[in-house]
Amino acid sequence: MTHLFRSIHLLDHMSIVIFYRGGFMSGRGGALRAALVAKLFTVLMSLTIVSSGCNRSVLLSGLSIDTAPESAPQPSPGPSSKLISLPNGMQISSEHPRVFITKQKFEEMLPLMNGPKAKDPYKRWFNLLKQSQDSGTPVQLPSLAILYKVTGDISYLSQLISRIPLSSTSGAPSIEELRALDLVFDDIPDSTKWAVMKRASDNPDGFYYGAVGESNSSIKPSWGYHRQGGVAVALLYSGVFAGTDYEMNKDANIHRFDAHNFLTHVKDEFSPSGGYFWNIENRIAGSPQYNTALPGSFGGMFDNFGYDSSLGEEGSSILSVAEFSFLTGEDHYSGFLHEQARASFYQNMQYPYLNSKPSANVWCHRAGDEWHTVARIWNTQTDYIQEPPIQNAPLVAWLYQDSRMQHFVNHGTQIELCGVPYNYLYMDLLFYDDTLEEEGPASNPTASYFSGPGLVSMRASWENDAAFGVFMAGEAISRRYEDAGSFLLGRKVDVIVQGGARIRGNVINERAHWYHIRSASKNTLKIFDPLERFDIDPVTGATLPLHAGGWSLVGSDNLGGQIFDTALSSADGCIYAPDGNTSSCSSRIYRKEGSAFPENFGIYERADIIKYEHRPAAFTYTVGDLTASYTRKIDFFDREFLYLRPDIFIIFDRVQSVDPEFKKVWVAHTMDSPVPDGIPAPLPPLSLGMSAFSDSRKLLISNPKNNTQMSMLLPESNRVVIRGGDTMLVSPRSLNSGITLQGADGAPLAELDIPRWLELFAVGATTTGSVTITGEAESVQNTLAGDGQITQVQKTLVAATETVSFQNKHQLEVSGDPSYSVTTTTLTDLTQNWIPDQWRGYRLWIRGPELFLTITSNTSNTLTFAEVPNLVRGWAYQVDRPVANTTKLWKKIDSITAQGLDVGNFSVSVPHYFDTEDALGRLHSFVPHSDATGDTYKKRKELGQYTINIEASIPKKLDQFLNVLALRDPSVPMPSAQLLKSVEANASGALLTDSVTGRTFVLFGNSRDTLSAFQVNVGPGAARGVICDLAPNALYSVEIDAGGLLQVAPNSAGGAIRTSSMGILSVQVSATGEISSRDL
């Protein structure tokens, strides 16, 4: 019957809504099918209707809002299973397996693997596991258990038992052991079971920190996502042993883990009526119960996709939910939104242009399958994620009958192609549903709003060359930190990115980590209050007037950004980054205290999407209220984000500061160099990595694959500062052992603007030597309190010497396509589009013959080098440079002396990717080491190399910023953008004249007040228009005269045009001045 309903769902695109068990469930079908569904529902009151995996939404005035979640087939202990009662009053299945999988499901799947009912892919997967085990490569214990149950071969059971450790020094039982134990529980010797129980008790933090103690506690836990990997294992253990003679008759002093009490905790945590785990998981996935934002689609995550896909973190939440459902025979997963909408969320957050599609089978992937990287929100250097946790995907797809997750199962990582011992292939064997249809990303709309995390994704189409954007206006959940109002943009390549990543391991790297946490690294607004403090009464938690009390920011913390989600630093110049080695810099003062910051389940309200409208063929519009992300230095900050398909993004900000003297700076980070027009502005002496312009109206960001034009319309008089790139301190030259480089006539070899670490490059015959640097470097003296907290930092410049060794570290620039060709003097890669001589002096490494050559020149796709007779083409190539970094921060270089080097190309540079000023005008650099010192990080352009800073030449209390970005092929003309201002000064906007899309005008309200009547000259002729910030669902008259004066006014009379529920008028102006409502 389930599949009958699935076939009904897929017949057409009209929505029906069925009321069932107090919630909504959307299906698919016309009126006749709706009647059929209703009749079947009447007859089969207990029937659970299965989703086709399509968007579960209703359309309300252009706003897609998810209804309550659908139910899925409810697992059951099976018709022959008996329930047993536990001392805590719960009932669970009496027969194993019962927690990793139900006995009924297990018995259904085993015949598909071997014997007369066997079929592919189950048969093929089973044989792969059998071949691996039989040929001497042991498979995982659950796979071994399956081999035993299918074949009856006792040798498999013997091998399984022998691989379960008996000693407590082996640690707590693993998830693999416990899954296998559940599958073959009745065949495991008593001694092994007792040993497993003792190991669980003798390792009190084995499942997770404090697990044994918590199992014996009456205090209700609050499990966040960091616990889910451990909770799933502890629950598995409890489910295996609960109610058995072993748990019932144990000596509690020896076997101290209380399985029954732990299950009580699980029941409490999974309760929709008050369980922390249930509520926090649903909050981040879009439940409106504890969220003040506009309701949207379900789907979300705590901080980033790296954690969300990690089996030790968020990726394991489904295991706990499924295990408890299987164990109790009760549905504990329907309405669990995080898992239920995970696949949809991942599909919508995919970059179009970061993709792979092999023409032949490759490691873990099948020929013809295509996979995409998902958006970099908060980056822990796990920004390569392409899919939900694939090990659990078959379980999720089957449990929820989720056709979108089925797409990832069918076209994501293919474990059978990952080689022996085919880890986790047993999950496919047990849970893969070969009858479940799939839905790929292209069946989604071209924009989606996920209200849980406050993310809006938008794209021109589902083609790989489509423009793509993500707007952020949600809560700082866990470690997503301070990104209110930030956005990402790209087309064929990254254009606007967030700066940096979590890079750790030494103090220099921790500074970069701290910077990536701060909103200064995001694409939002900085508002500088030199006396900024968290105006919160430390006793009552109440918000105080500006500068009236609370905690002051030290100077180096004050980058004009948003309220910290971490502790303040304890001293000026002492940067505290969490999870690292800078804890002595922590003030231990957190803003997350008191009534000033409303909290629900550890989530502090700080930004909301307040408007969202998507018109598929025309535009996507969204507005974020970002006010709560800042201290009392502002009255409000709204960002309106309008995407005009296919390739124009318009960003309008209105921000009102408490003091008009508070400088406001619009910030964006780019991968490629922005080049503004305007009047070059004077710079301070020794201003490295910086350019400035007055009254700049336009800048261009060039890339061989995509050009981006940014028109800066407001403020009308501006100052634009570009920071970033690299400064060459010592230009490329030969350097041999014993040679010293010095400045001319006693002058320094190089001087810097502020103390910085140095990046050294050496390309040549021998790069395993070192250099010794002399000059002037920064010295730091810290004053410590009795508890080790740094209370004062004193920095001075002193004469210094440092020897830096080249340790076979390389800075990768190009990882080449395997289809390249070579001659004795050239390498050609037709997939590239390089800048001429971009790689002169770099190293070419041809893999296979392991040749290292120095590049003498290059064209758009060809590298040239000295002749190599009989050059053999290898299997791959890369362009790189041997690199080393200093640990000292240098202000002046007097000399550099080589030891053991023989190179034809030695250079010294400093990067400026994350340079920024504080509220006192002091410059700081937050660039991490690039030679993998203390961390695996090496230079990555896609994490940002340049920062655009735009500020008003004369700041006001209320400022507006208006920027128009067009992303196009280099050969396609760019639109012109002209500032529009209403006669009444209550509206501003842009008039776009474009050879591609024609004339378009866009208008926004200058204040937070709803726009009333206004007039603005948009010029004569045909045009399309979008007018924002009007009253919602209201009638307006719209007229235009022969000269192009547009007049808009409220009008309840006939002939008026009605706005959308988000207060938008979308109009078309004909060549003769006739106006009509339309989708653009």
Total residue length of the chain = 1080
pLDDT band at 565 (very low <50, low <70, confident <90, very high): confident
Asked which of 520-534, 570-584, 639-653 is least confident by mean pLDDT, the reply is 570-584
Q: Which of helix, strand or coil describes residue 622? A: strand
Task: Please check whether residue 104 lies inside any domain of the structure.
Answer: no
Which H helix or E strand runs over 263? Answer: helix 259-269
Q: Which has the minimum average pLDDT: 71-75, 359-363, 1013-1017?
A: 71-75
Is 203 in contact with 211 (CB distance < 8 Å)?
A: no
d(CA 1080, CA 252): 71
- What number is the average pLDDT over the span 701-714? 97
pLDDT of residue 514: 95
Task: Report, as an integer, the average pLDDT of 869-887.
Answer: 93
Q: What is the pLDDT of residue 24?
A: 30
Give the confidence band of 41 by pLDDT, cuts at 50, 70, 90: very low
Strand partners, 1057: 1036
Checking if the pLDDT of 51 tops 90, the result is no
Structure tokens at 390: 């694939």
Examine the pLDDT at 343 and tell me if it is beyond 70: yes
The answer to which of 9-23, 386-400, 594-608, 730-744 has the lowest mean pLDDT is 9-23
Q: Mean pLDDT across the stretch 1046-1073?
A: 92
How far apart are the C-alpha atoms of 88 and 263, rounded to whole Å?
A: 9
d(C-alpha 1064, C-alpha 1073), whole Å: 20
Together in a domain, 792 and 900: yes
Least confident of 37-51, 471-485, 747-761, 928-942: 37-51
Element (H, E) at 977: strand 976-981
Beta strand spans in 236-300 (E): none
283 is a domain residue = no
Model confidence at 1, pLDDT cuts 50, 70, 90, reads very low
Task: Tell me what pLDDT residue 593 has.
Answer: 56
The per-residue DSSP string of 666-732 comes to EEEEESS-EEE-SEEPP--TT-TTEEEEES--EEEE--SS-EEEEEEEESSSEEEEEEESEEEEEEE
Does residue 82 have a pLDDT over 90?
no
pTM: 0.91
Based on the fold, state whether residues 897 and 956 are members of the same structural domain.
no
Question: If we measure between CA atoms, which residue out of 235, 239, 181 comes closest to residue 211?
Answer: 235
The reply to whether 303 falls in a domain is no
266 or 57: which carries more pLDDT confidence?
266
Give me the torsion for CA of 266, 268, 273, 274, rounded to 10°: -110
Assigned domain for 363 exists: no
User: Are residues 670 and 599 both part of a single domain?
Assistant: yes
| pLDDT of 846 over the 80 cut | yes
pLDDT for 359 beyond 70 = yes
- Summarised one tens digit per residue, pLDDT across range 712-724 is 999 999 999 999 9
Indicate the helix (H) or strand (E) that contains 998: strand 998-1005
pLDDT digits (tens, 9 = 90+) for 324-336: 999 999 999 999 9
Nearest-angstrom CA–CA distance, 548 and 534: 9
- pLDDT at res. 963: 98
pLDDT value at 53 more than 50: no
| 630 and 709 both lie in a single domain | yes
What CATH code is carried by the domain that includes residue 553? 2.70.98.70
Q: pLDDT band at 921, cuts 50/70/90? A: very high
Residue 107 within a domain: no
**Between 391 and 80, residue with greater pLDDT:** 391
Name the band, by pLDDT with cuts 50, 70 and 90, for residue 38.
Answer: very low
SS3 39: helix
* Pair of tokens at residue 598: 């409303």
Does any domain span residue 848?
yes
Pairwise CA distance, residues 704 & 971, whole Å: 10
Residue 5, CB half-sphere, CA atoms under 13 Å: how many? 24
Q: What is the pLDDT of residue 37?
A: 32
Q: Is the pLDDT of residue 830 over 70?
A: yes
Tens of pLDDT, residues 931-988:
998 888 989 999 999 999 999 999 999 999 999 999 999 999 999 999 999 999 999 9
pLDDT, residue 23, reads: 31
Average pLDDT, the chain: 90
DSSP string, 770-839: EEEEEEEEEEEEEEE-TTS-EEEEEEEEEEEEEEEE--S-EEEEEE--TT-EE-SSEEE-TT--PPTTTT
Choice between 596 and 754, residue whose per-residue pLDDT is larger: 754
Pairing between strand 447-450 and 455-459? antiparallel
* The pLDDT value given to residue 57: 32
Kindly report, residue by residue over 403-420, the tens digit of the pLDDT: 999 999 999 999 999 999
Closest CA to 145 of 130, 128, 131: 130
Distance CA 559, CA 94 (A): 61
Q: Answer yes or no: is pLDDT of 47 > 90.
A: no
Q: Work out how many domains the chain is built from and give that number.
A: 4
Q: Tokens 């408890």 appear where?
A: 324
pLDDT reported for residue 591: 65
Quote the pLDDT of residue 68. 41
In terms of C-beta density within 10 A (0-12 exposed, 13-18 middle, 19 or more buried), how is residue 717 classed? exposed
Asked if 48 contacts 72 with a C-beta cutoff of 8 angstroms, the reply is yes
Question: Average of pLDDT values for 788-807?
Answer: 96
Whole-number pLDDT of residue 40: 35
Q: Are residues 766 and 693 in the same domain?
A: no
Q: Confirm whether 15 is domain-assigned.
A: yes
Whether residues 552 and 677 share a domain: the answer is: yes
Residues 1003-1017: what's their mean pLDDT? 97
In a domain, 22, yes or no: yes
pLDDT at 476: 67
**For 182-206, how does the pLDDT look when each residue is reduced to its tens digit (9 = 90+)?**
999 999 999 999 999 999 999 999 9
Residue 314 to residues 99, 350, 381, 390, 1033: CA-CA distances in angstroms?
Answer: 20, 19, 17, 13, 41
pLDDT tens-place string over residues 993-1009: 998 889 999 999 999 99
On whether both 776 and 871 belong to a single domain, the answer is: yes
* Residue 290 confidence (pLDDT): 84
Do 657 and 758 share a domain, yes or no?
Answer: no
Confidence tier at 765 by pLDDT (50, 70, 90): confident
CA dihedral of 765, 768, 772, 777, whole degrees rounded to 10:
110
107 phi-psi bin (left φ>0, alpha ψ -120 to 50, beta other): alpha
Structure tokens at 156: 């498999």
Query: Rounded to whole angstroms, how far apart are CA atoms 998 and 742?
Result: 59
Helices 175-183, 141-151: crossing angle, 10 deg rounding: 10
Cβ atoms of residues 696 and 712 within 8 Å: yes
pLDDT value of residue 717 = 97
Structural contact between residues 581 and 603, judged by C-beta atoms closer than 8 angstroms? no
Q: Please check the confidence at residue 382 and state whether its pLDDT lies above 80.
A: yes
Provide the residue type at 354 as one letter: L
Q: How far apart are CA 81 and CA 66, in angstroms?
A: 37
CATH code of the domain in which 1032 resides? 2.60.40.2750
Cα 724 to the center of its chain, rounded Å: 23
Structural domain that includes position 6: 2-66
pLDDT of 319 > 80? The answer is yes
940 and 988 share a domain? no
Cβ atoms 498, 944 nearer than 8 A: yes
Angle between helices 141-151 and 154-162 (to 10 degrees): 160
Residues 904 and 943 in one domain: no
Closest to 979 in 3D by CA, of 1028, 1023, 1016: 1016
Tell me the mean pLDDT in the region 63-75: 43
The pLDDT of residue 18 is above 50:
no
Q: Report the pLDDT value the prediction gives residue 1055, as an integer from 0 to 100.
A: 76
Residue 72 pLDDT more than 90?
Answer: no
Which of 715, 635, 683, 691 lies closest to 954, judged by CA? Answer: 715
pLDDT of residue 594: 56
Helix, strand, coil percentages, rounded to 5, for the chain: 20, 35, 45
Pick from 50, 66, 82: which residue ends a domain?
66
Q: Which of 50-54, 230-234, 808-812, 838-842 has the highest mean pLDDT?
A: 230-234
Contact 1065, 1050 (CB under 8 A): no
- Residues 621 and 575 occupy one common structural domain: yes
DSSP per-residue codes, 201-224: HH-TTSSSTTHHHHHT--SPP---
Is a pLDDT exceeding 60 seen at residue 50?
Answer: no
Q: How confident is the model at residue 312 (pLDDT cuts 50, 70, 90)?
A: confident
Q: Is 935 found in the same domain as 890?
A: no
